[in-house]
Each structure stands twice: as structure tokens, then as C-alpha cells.
Chain A
């Protein structure tokens, strides 16, 4: 539906050399954004100190609060730069994907583009009306009916009443809640609410659309419908900027992708290449030295990750035809209950292959501070040849993550046999085939034969 070859060969940066230089929809020049993290909690060791601190706290609080809204010198210690010198151009009708890890600056960039927050330096020119889907359903009021909320939400998103009037039937039809349109939204199921909210957003008449992860809502069928609508939006000549962690969606929808890391643009090009760089970059040398991950759920010092086959460390290159042991060595620094230690496996195009935790083996009991090893054994012949990525997961059941995707490991699977052929597909389990003459034609199919056939599925 969204052919990969749309704009395969053109370099979107350059618009000056073509006869039909496409007009730029977005031009960002040297954009910086500074945030004050501010409001650090002070710690006191004695009753006297904390009393004095408490008495003087109004003055200190006032100073800190006042700083929140100011711009300070680059290296003040309560300052972080969410974006540094970001420049890019997006042409009219282009669908641009923005990828990067959490905290890389993707969302900050969208917030600046949608004028929620101003840049600290730099300049962005937008040619056309902008609407943003940073979150669907903002401003929905539970006491109001679906109809009233469509009007309210529509005008919040920048439509006029006349525009909503014109699109109203279409919006309601898209949301599939016609029957309940005059019922208060608080009586809706969460799915209905999301559908209605997305329907409003999807019908915005803007030339530039900014989208942040909103497709992670609703059931699969509705998501599919939204994706189709988004694809249609792009084909209608509108420019779309799309932030997502879902590499498949980026691959499917976007003509071009930007990779942001630490507030910089580090790659810009065709989605497939940028996604590969993203996965590759973030997997180089995952644990050069012990790293401490701590949060309110607990604290863990990760020391080592090793890939072992037949008792030998194999590094990145894994023989697909042998079992692989993944060994994780870590210290638990605070007593922790229900620790989840595990990982996600992704294929090179970003598809999520599976997730696993050591919880079943470790049990739910409290883990006392000390050194631990968790070992996972991947059976032989699980994957196809090629790259896979492992994202380490550490968290506490129901209390939150300590780390998710901060540590990424690249694994290069390859078959050792010369006869190996690369088939398409994310996994390549060596199921057992059987081929035989069809005996049912000649009469009976024995119970024993049936058992064999079931086994043959492997």
C-alpha cells in the first residue's frame, strides 16, 4: 500500500538543483533547546541542619522556581540541552520518520515544531498550516457527549466550528460510534473514546501533520485503519513528521528518516538505512565497564554480557546451528522483590521477535544484595541468518523499569554449512519435514501414522 520505492533515488536535502525543486514545507536552522531540570531535593544529615534548611527553604525554592523560566549560560549544572544545532529541510508531501532512543530529543523537536514550547536558539519556518497529534483526545471532557467533545476537541486542534460542521458526519462514521454520539463520553469504553479522539485528529485539514506515537492506541483493526488514513494523508500532498519507536511503521509509512541521538541529527536518509544505523549504533560495545541502573524500584550494577557456544565465548558472531548461552553478570545493590531480568529480541528491520525474563527460574522471592548470574539458553536453529538485536530489560514487577533498551547487543547469526540458503522470514526454526506417498487414497490411515504426522510439524 505504501510502496518502498517512493522517492528512492532523490536526495531530499537538495532542492536547488532540480528543475522542479519541490517547495520546502519545513526548514529548521540551527535549533537549540535548553531545559532547566531545577528543583533538586536537598538532603540533610542532622535535625539541626534540616530545621535550618526548612526555615531557609522559601528563599531557595523561590530562586529555583524563578530560574525555571529563564535561559542561562550553557554549562550551568541544572541545565540540559535537549536539542543542539538541529537543521533539516522537509519537502512538501514528504513523510519523514524521526527515530532515536528515549531522551534523544525527538519529542522536544515535535513540541517546538508544534509551537508548544519555543526554541532557545535557531529558527524554523513552516510553510502551511500545522496540526499536531501529540496525544489524541486532549481536552475531552467525560461529562460532555460525544458530539460536544468532537466540537471542543476539533477547535482545540485548530479547526473552526464551520470546519467541524462540514466534517462531522465523516468523523463520526470513521470512529464507528454513531449510535452513542449523544451519550456522555464517560459512558464510553476506552476503545470507543480513543476511536472518537483519533477520528477528530485524523480529519484535520492541515498541510503539515506532526505525529507522536499516537498509533499505539486502540485495537489492531482500528490501528490498521488509522495507518491507512495516515498513508492517505501523505498521498494527499501533505507533509507528515512521524515519531515512533515502531520501526516497522516507520519503514512502512516514511519516505525518509532522521536519526537523533543526544540532541543531534546523526543520520538522515532512506528509512531502511537509517533504521539499520540506529540499531547498529546503539549496540556497539554494550558494557565496556560496569554500569549502575537505579530507580525508585531498586538498583543494579550490570557487569558483563557474554555470548557462549560450546563453552567458548563467541563475541558478536554466532553459529546458528548450535545452542547459544547468553550470560549476564550483575550485582544487586539493594534488596529487591520481583526483579525482572530479561531481554527483547528484535530483527534487523525492527520487528519484535520475542521477550523473555528469568522470573520463572529466579522466583518471586526477595533477592538480597550480592552478585548474580542469569543464563539464558537459546536452542540451536532458532533464527535465520543475519543480524538480531538484544535489548536488555531490567525492572521490578508492577513498579517500573530500571533499564529498557539502554543496553543493546548485536548478534550476527550465520550458518556454518556451505549449503545454507537464506530464506526470508524473521525466525528459522529447523522443523522436521516428512514426505511420503498419500496412503488415504488406498484406504486406511493408521493411528500410528497420525501420531507421526503431528510430530512432523515439530
Chain B
């Protein structure tokens, strides 16, 4: 009936890697937490999942008025509205997944202090659950492309790769920030500024072409270390045909995203043992 197993509880010292076997045992929990996140998100709202469309559209309108019409920011030869919207879709995923992931432990302290399960499921949940909003707002891109008469090319097939990099980046930063936030609640207060800074640092309202103009090839590669730069420029290239796929940026971006993610796993595991004591 019951499988017999032996558990040894010992002091936790130093660095250790993820216990994949244990995570596998808890995959159903992960599924239900993602489920819960999705079901609960738009409960008791009038618009429901309409918010997933409205949020990027409203941001697009604001940015188009300010940066497109007033400041006349260069938009790689496509209408500013769609130039901006195509960037907002991955960006909003990244910023919401990042904040939800960073605060996932702090907002679930009652569970942390009362029940054992691999704590990794918490910061990982928003990385998956926020994909729902992402997919809904992504579909609107095709509507806008029809409106602005932009043809779909075969390069749209690169999108899954870009999505994977986007999720990896959100997961890595989420791991770091969530593990820090348990001990240092400063994280909670810093998140709104952090996401704002990260947004202006990424080419959401402007074009990465500016970097190459000003700082040349080296500047472009260094800038690519921020993985969302490659993701956003990749989206524009794949959907709006603004230029060739930025493979150079995507390559350095993937390396740095992997570095953030793996170091994040180690840091999280190191801090994990003390979450219940410190929370």
C-alpha cells in the first residue's frame, strides 16, 4: 500500500543543488498552485481576462502618445503603436512574473512555517501561471498586424525560443529576489522601482538600434547581457520584420540568463533551510 522510505534529517550546511527527485514527487502540487493562481487572478472582476488585453493596450496608448507622437522616438520603420505593443507583451509578462515570483515566499509565510514541501514551487509558479495573460495579449498582436497591414513571415516560428529565454530570465531573477525577500523585506519595497528601471533599460519604448549607433558592436553585445533586450528585439524581428534576428544578443542573453538561473538555484537552496526560522 505505502512505499517505504527513509528520511534522514540533519543540519544543513553550505551549498547544495536541487533535489530533482523530490520536485518530481510534488509536481501535482505545482500544477494545482498554477491552477489556483490562474483561477483566482480575475475573480470578482467585471472584465476578467479582458484585463490581459486592456493592460498592454492602455500602456501602448500612453507610450504611443508620449514617445511616439510627442518625443518622436524612432521605431525601426514600423508604426510606433505596434512597435511598442510587440515589446510590451513579453515585457509585461516578465515584470508581472518577476514581481509575483519575488514576493511569492513573503506572501505565503503561513505555509512556509507550517508545512514542508520543496519551497522552489513558490517562485516557479508565477513563471508558468503568468503565461496565460501573455498568450492572450500575444494573440492581439496578430489583430494589430492586420490593422497595420504587416505581413506574417516564417520567422514567427522563432517565438517559442524567445518565450523560453523570457521564462528562464523571469525564473532566475525570481529565485534570487524571492530568496532575498524572506530575510530582507527591502525587496518588497524595491520591486516597483526595480521593474520600472528594468523597463527603461530594456528597449520597450525605444529601439536597440540606438545602442549600436552610439556604442558600436561592443556596446551592443554588452547590452545583450540583459536577456530581455534580446527577447524584445527578437519579438520585433520575428513579427514585424524590423531587421535580422539578433542572434548575437540572444546568445549572450542566454548565457547570462542561465548564469542567473543556476546561481539563483544555489542561492535559493542555501537560504531555503532558514526560511521558516526567518520568515
How far apart sit A247 and B25, CA to CA, in the bound complex (Å)? 37
Question: A126 to chain B: closest CB distance in Å?
Answer: 4
Please tell me which one of the listed residues B39, B183, B276 contacts residue A116 in the complex, with CB atoms under 8 A apart. Answer: B276
Query: Quick check: which of A144-152, A188-196, A361-369, A444-452 contacts chain B, the rest being far away?
Result: A144-152
Which chain A residues (70-112) contact chain B, with CB distance < 8 Å?
Answer: 111-112
Per the bound structure, the CA–CA distance linking A138 and B117 in Å amounts to: 12
Contact of A120 among B4, B5, B11, B31 (CB under 8 A): B11
The segment from A129-137, A316-324, A373-381 that touches chain B is A129-137
Contact of B115 among A116, A125, A128 (CB under 8 A): A116
Given contacts A127-B6, A157-B115, contact A122 B32 (CB under 8 A): no
User: Is B116 a contact partner of A115 (Cβ separation < 8 A)?
Assistant: yes
For the complex, what is the distance from the CA of A161 to the CA of B25, rounded to whole Å? 11
**CB pair A114 B273 closer than 8 Å:** no
Complex partner residue of B29 from A114, A117, A121, A156, CB under 8 angstroms: A156
Chain B residues whose C-beta falls within 8 Å of the C-beta of A126 in the assembled complex: 6-9
Given A116-B115, A124-B9, are A69 and B29 also a contact pair (CB < 8 Å)? no
**Least distance between A84 CB and chain B CB atoms (Å):** 15
* In the complex, residue of chain A having the shortest beta-carbon distance to the beta carbon of B6: A127
Q: Is A405 an interface residue (CB 8 A)?
A: no
Please encode chain B, from 91 to 126, with 1 for each CB lying within 8 Å of some chain A CB and 0 for all others: 000000000000000000011111111000000000
Q: Which residues of B contact A124 (CB under 8 A)?
A: 8-10
A65 & B183 in contact (Cβ 8 Å cutoff):
yes
Q: Which of B11-59 contact A (CB under 8 A)?
A: 11-12, 25-26, 28-29, 31-33, 35-36, 39-40, 43-44
Q: What CA separation (Å) do A134 and B116 show in the bound complex?
A: 10
Tell me if A125 and B7 are in contact (CB < 8 A): yes
What separation, in Å, do the CA atoms of A316 and B115 have in the docked complex? 45
A111-B276, A116-B114 known; A65+B2 contact, CB < 8 A: no
Is B213 close to A, CB under 8 A?
no
Min CB distance A107 to B, Å, is 10
| Cβ distance A62 to chain B, nearest Cβ, rounded Å | 8
Quick check: B11 and A69 within 8 Å, CB to CB? no
> A132: which of B3, B7, B115 is its contact (CB, 8 Å)?
B115
B184 within 8 A of A: yes
Task: State the CA gap A62–B180 with chains docked (Å).
Answer: 12
Nearest CB on A from B74, distance (A):
42
Say whether B9 contacts A119, CB under 8 Å.
yes
- Given A138-B114, A144-B36, check contact A118 B273 (CB 8 Å): yes
CA A112 – CA B273 in complex, angstroms?
11
Q: Are A65 and B3 in contact (CB under 8 A)?
A: no
B3 CB contacts on chain A under 8 angstroms:
129
Asked whether any CB of chain B lies closer than 8 Å to the CB of A401, the reply is no
Q: A143-B39, A144-B40 are in contact. Are A155 and B9 (CB under 8 A)?
A: no
Among B228-279, those with CB < 8 Å from A are 271, 273-274, 276-278
Q: Which of B35, B36, B111 contacts A138 (CB 8 A)?
A: B111
Q: What's the Cα separation between A126 and B9 when bound, in Å? A: 8
CB distance from B124 to the nearest CB of A (A): 15
Residues of B within 8 A of A115 (CB): 7, 9, 116
Task: Verify A121–B11 contact, CB threshold 8 A.
Answer: yes
Assembled-state Cα–Cα distance A69/B271 (Å): 8
Q: How many B residues face the partner with a CB closer than 8 A?
A: 41
Q: Is A411 an interface residue (CB 8 A)?
A: no
- Whether A113 is near chain B, meaning CB under 8 Å from some CB there, is yes
Interface flag for B1 (CB, 8 Å): yes
Q: Does A352 contact B (CB under 8 A)?
A: no
Which residues from chain B contact A118 at a C-beta distance below 8 Å?
9-12, 273
Give the distance to chain B from A435, nearest Cβ to Cβ, in Å: 59
**CB atoms of A138 and B115 under 8 A apart:** yes
Instruction: Give the chain A neighbours of B271 by CB distance below 8 A.
Output: 69
* A125 & B36 in contact (Cβ 8 Å cutoff): no
**A123-B39 contact in complex given A151-B32, A156-B115, C-beta closer than 8 Å:** no
B277 and A158 within 8 A (CB)? no
The CA of A124 and the CA of B8, in the complex, are separated in Å by: 6
Name the interface residues of A12-62: CB closer than 8 Å to any CB of B.
35-36, 62
Q: Quick one: given A35-B277, A124-B8, A144-B40, are A155 and B32 in contact (CB under 8 Å)?
A: yes
In the bound complex, do residue B274 and residue A69 qualify as a contact, i.e. CB atoms below 8 Å apart? Answer: yes
Residues of A within 8 A of B117 (CB): 156, 158
Interface membership of A396, Cβ < 8 A? no
* B43 surroundings in chain A (CB, below 8 A): 143
User: Cα distance A152–B32 when bound, in Å?
Assistant: 6
Contact of B2 among A66, A120, A155, A207 (CB under 8 A): A207
* In the bound complex, CA of A155 to CA of B32 (Å): 8
- A453 contacts the other chain (Cβ, under 8 Å)? no
- Identify which of B25, B115, B184 contacts A134 (C-beta below 8 A): B115
A416 contacts the other chain (CB 8 A): no
User: Is the pair B11, A139 in contact by a Cβ cutoff of 8 Å?
Assistant: no
B85–chain A nearest beta-carbon distance, Å: 31
B106 CB to closest chain A CB (Å) equals: 14
B1 near A135 with CB under 8 A, answer no
Cross-chain contact A143 with B8 (CB below 8 angstroms) = no
CA of A382 to CA of B235, assembled, Å:
84
Residue of B nearest to A28 (CB): B9
Contact residues of A between 175 and 226, Cβ < 8 Å to B: 205-207
Known: A116-B114, A159-B28. 19 other contacts (CB 8 A): A62-B184, A65-B183, A65-B184, A68-B278, A116-B112, A116-B276, A118-B273, A119-B11, A121-B11, A122-B10, A125-B7, A125-B8, A126-B8, A127-B4, A129-B3, A141-B36, A148-B35, A152-B32, A156-B29
Question: Interface of B with A (CB < 8 Å)?
Answer: 1-12, 25-26, 28-29, 31-33, 35-36, 39-40, 43-44, 110-117, 183-184, 271, 273-274, 276-278
Partner-B contacts on A (CB < 8 A)? 35-36, 62, 65-66, 68-69, 111-130, 132, 134-135, 138-139, 141, 143-144, 148, 151-152, 155-161, 205-207
Shortest Cβ-Cβ A-B pairs, 4 listed: A155-B29, A69-B274, A124-B9, A115-B116
14 chain-A/chain-B pairs, Cβ below 8 angstroms: A69-B274, A69-B277, A111-B276, A116-B116, A119-B9, A122-B10, A123-B9, A125-B6, A127-B6, A132-B116, A134-B115, A138-B111, A148-B32, A205-B1
